[in-house]
Amino acid sequence: MIQNKYAVLLADDSSDDRLFMRKALSRSTRLSMAAEVCDGQEAIEYLKGNPPFSNRDLHPWPDLLILDLKMPRKNGFDVLQWLKHQAEAGTLARPTLTVVIVSGAFLERDISQSLEMGAAGYFKKTSVRREQEDMVQELEKLMAEKAERKLSPES
Amino acid sequence: MASPIARKRANASSPPSTPPPGSSPEDVRTTASASTPPQHVSASPASPPPLQPQSSQIIQHHAQTPSDGKANILLVDDREDKRLAMETVIAELGQNIIQANSGREALRHLLNQTFAVILLDVNMPGMDGFETALLIRQRKSLENIPIIFVSAISDTETHVSRGYSLGAVDYILAPIVPEILRAKVAVFVELFKIADQVKRQAEDLRLAHSQLEKRVEERTQELARVNKSLQKEVKERQKAEENLRILNSKLEERVADRTAELRAANKELETFSYSIAHDLRAPFRQIHGYAEILEEDFADKLPAEARTYLSRIGAKSKEMEAMVDDLLRLFVVAKEPFDVAETNLRSLAQEVMANLRSEGSNAARSIQFTLTENLPATIRGNAGLMRQVLENLLSNAVKYTRPRKTAEIELGCEDGEAQDKQTTFYVRDNGVGFAMEQADRLFGVFQRLHRMEEFEGTGIGLALVSRIIAKHGGRVWARGEVGGGATFYFTLGKSGHDPE
């Protein structure tokens, strides 16, 4: 959390899409872009806290990871896979990370595979303002629900 | 009675031409012959058979056993009266009695005829009984013929034993006791008849056997013939099978090659469609995104004309993105397998119609959707794909009825033709229609009948419908006229409408 906002790490190889996402998040009162990385490999390095991301003051641990699927080096699925392994081994620095996929494609196969591998949601990239707002709203809701669950784990 | 025999015996050494004293002259014999009962075959000159066989035909005839079932008995005696006496005794047996007055004549008869028994007088002038018997026995065909010697000489054991050594079967001593003579001859007649019967049966058997053999032979040949043709057929079949096997393996090879090619092509297509999904549509989305940012963030800094162009840029890029999405759907339908299940057609249609009504209706026009009564509640199909079919057909109908004040759009079905019994569904509208000669262009990819300014669209919707319907095993077609509305028909094949 940064100033009561959820910290977001965005992993997307397209600078255009990163710009649109930045714009979309800028309108949110609950989400804040903490950092942007260009591919899955960088995302993993960031989460590991490896250089150049070793300074957590500059590179804070995110509450939400927004992952693109199709990226060079390591793609979104690779990151999901890595996270799953870390969670199972208990080696993840903070196990509270929420991951959502925001992809240019809306392929049935991609969606089901993402959710199976631990993604909390799947969103289609959009340039339409209204759709962007819907997405941000959904993300906020998702994080709020998670926070509630954390407060009362019984329910 | 002893004296004539003695005399006769004495005469035996004398030349045969000299009749013994007291014996019957030749004319007596002739006379006696004439008086022979008609059932007796006589050796008299009156008898038709010539003394010497004239032809083989006659021999054959005589060699045959008498066809009247009677056996031949040969009486050989130089004395007419004795022959007559014996004939009288054995005539009762009812057989053919042939008489011979000398050994020579007896031999002649024996050449031509078969006899059951020979009654042979021992004492005859010229060739006596023993000599005659010797000659008879020398003939192979006669070596087993029964000979009963008739002799008046009762005192000489030698005669009897000599007679037996010459092959006599029996010996009768004169004076003849009729019952004994008759009984003995009867025995030989009986024996002959039995032997004859056996011979005939053997002959019949031989004949039957040879006929059987002939038939077996014929049958064997026939079987061989059939067997040969069968073997030929088997060979031909084997050859045909071999050819088939070769063809089959070639075909399998080609199928395997083709399958591998198709698999590779499919893989390529998959990569391609994935690439379309992720990469190709991105730039259009981004163009639209930048246009929107410009419009929103710099609206006050842009002249009105520039804002118009910006919004056009945004719209065009959206259009392009939609086309890519449609194209992608087409790929997915073509390639992906899908599940078919009981699908609620009516509620699906009502949902789609509700969405379209809210989008398409305005103050200027109203849209009237109708579901016909006979439309089945459920069909067998893929819900997601069937939704796309209805969305495309119904949104088309909404689009092309835009000039109408009231759009009338009906979803219904007609009972199938008798042949396939498939239910035909249709979407009918009262829109601008189309010319029937362009009907075949409707379902092609990127085929459009209208200018973009007139009616927007990607030119993929109906191609997608056609592909989805084809995937369900059905058929799609359309009827329309310019200005007279359009009707789109489709069936769902065997997997489609369940009549229950």
Contact A43, A10 (CB under 8 A): no
Kindly indicate the confidence band of residue B157, based on its pLDDT and cuts at 50, 70 and 90: low
- pLDDT at residue B46, as a whole number: 44
- pLDDT at residue A153, as a whole number: 52
Region A27-32: what's the mean pLDDT? 89
Written as six digits, the tokens of B308 are 């118009």
Chain B interface includes A91 (CB < 8 A) = no
Region A33-41: what's the mean pLDDT? 91
Chain B interface includes A118 (CB < 8 A) = no
Contact A104 B281 (CB under 8 A): yes
Chain A interface includes B281 (CB < 8 A) = yes
CB atoms closer than 10 angstroms to residue B24: 19
Kindly indicate the confidence band of residue B237, based on its pLDDT and cuts at 50, 70 and 90: very high
Cα B249 from chain centroid (whole Å) = 30
Contact B286 A17 (CB under 8 A): yes
Chain B interface includes A18 (CB < 8 A) = no
Distance (Å) from the alpha carbon of A25 to chain B's nearest alpha carbon: 14
Distance (Å) from the alpha carbon of A47 to chain B's nearest alpha carbon: 26
Chain B interface includes A122 (CB < 8 A) = no
Q: What is the mean pLDDT of chain B?
A: 79
Chain B interface includes A127 (CB < 8 A) = yes
Region B363-368: what's the mean pLDDT? 81
- CB-neighbour burial class of residue B254 (10 A; exposed 0-12, middle 13-18, buried 19+): exposed
Contact A107 B282 (CB under 8 A): no
Q: What angle do CA B237, B238, B240 make, to 5 degrees?
A: 60
State the Cα–Cα distance between residues B392 and B397, nearest whole angstrom: 9
pLDDT at B364 over 80: no
Contact A105 B332 (CB under 8 A): no
B295-334 in b/e form (b: 16+ CB < 10 A) is beeeeeeeeeeeeeebeebbeebbbbbbbbbbbbbbbbbe
- pLDDT at residue B233, as a whole number: 92
Give the nearest partner residue to B293 out of A14, A23, A69, using CB atoms: A23
Contact B8, B125 (CB under 8 A): yes
The more confidently predicted of residues B421 and B430 is B430
- pLDDT at residue A118, as a whole number: 87
Distance (Å) from the alpha carbon of B286 to chain A's nearest alpha carbon: 7
Chain A interface includes B292 (CB < 8 A) = yes
Region B230-234: what's the mean pLDDT? 92
pLDDT at A155 over 50: no
Kindly give the pairing relationship between strand A98-103 and strand A121-124. parallel
pLDDT at A122 over 90: yes
Chain B interface includes A22 (CB < 8 A) = no
Distance (Å) from the alpha carbon of A24 to chain B's nearest alpha carbon: 11
- pLDDT at residue B342, as a whole number: 87
Kindly indicate the confidence band of residue B32, based on its pLDDT and cuts at 50, 70 and 90: very low
- pLDDT at residue B6, as a whole number: 39
Kindly indicate the confidence band of residue A87, based on its pLDDT and cuts at 50, 70 and 90: confident
Which residue out of A126, A127, A129 would a mutagenesis test of the B interface target, given it has the greatest number of B Cβ atoms within 10 Å?
A127
The more confidently predicted of residues B298 and B274 is B298
State the Cα–Cα distance between residues B127 and B143, nearest whole angstrom: 19
Q: What is the mean pLDDT of chain A?
A: 86
Report how many helices (DSSP H) and strands (DSSP E) chain B contains, helices first.
13, 12
Q: For B465-491, how does the pLDDT look when each residue is reduced to its tens digit (9 = 90+)?
A: 988 898 888 889 999 988 889 999 998
Chain B interface includes A70 (CB < 8 A) = yes
Q: For A62-75, how does the pLDDT look when each residue is reduced to its tens digit (9 = 90+)?
A: 989 999 998 888 88
Kindly indicate the confidence band of residue B416, based on its pLDDT and cuts at 50, 70 and 90: low
Percent above pLDDT 90 for chain B: 13
pLDDT at A11 over 70: yes
Determine the residue type at B42.
Answer: S
- pLDDT at residue B242, as a whole number: 93
Give the nearest partner residue to A105 out of B278, B288, B292, using CB atoms: B278
- pLDDT at residue A152, as a whole number: 62
State the Cα–Cα distance between residues A66 and A68, nearest whole angstrom: 7
Q: Which residues of B touch A20 (CB under 8 A)?
A: 286, 289
ipTM: 0.80
Kindly indicate the confidence band of residue B389, based on its pLDDT and cuts at 50, 70 and 90: very high
- pLDDT at residue B97, as a whole number: 92
- pLDDT at residue B55, as a whole number: 40
Contact A127 B285 (CB under 8 A): yes
- pLDDT at residue B495, as a whole number: 54
Chain A interface includes B277 (CB < 8 A) = yes
pLDDT at B316 over 90: no
Q: For B208-225, how does the pLDDT look when each residue is reduced to its tens digit (9 = 90+)?
A: 888 888 888 998 999 999
Q: State the count of interchain CB pairs (< 8 A) between A and B.
A: 42
- The chain B residue lying nearest A23, using CA atoms, is B293
Q: Which of A139-153, B5-19, B161-175, B207-221 has the lowest mean pLDDT?
A: B5-19
Contact B277 A104 (CB under 8 A): yes
What is chain A's length? 155
Percent above pLDDT 70 for chain A: 92
- pLDDT at residue A93, as a whole number: 67
pLDDT at B12 over 50: no
- The chain A residue lying nearest B284, using CA atoms, is A127
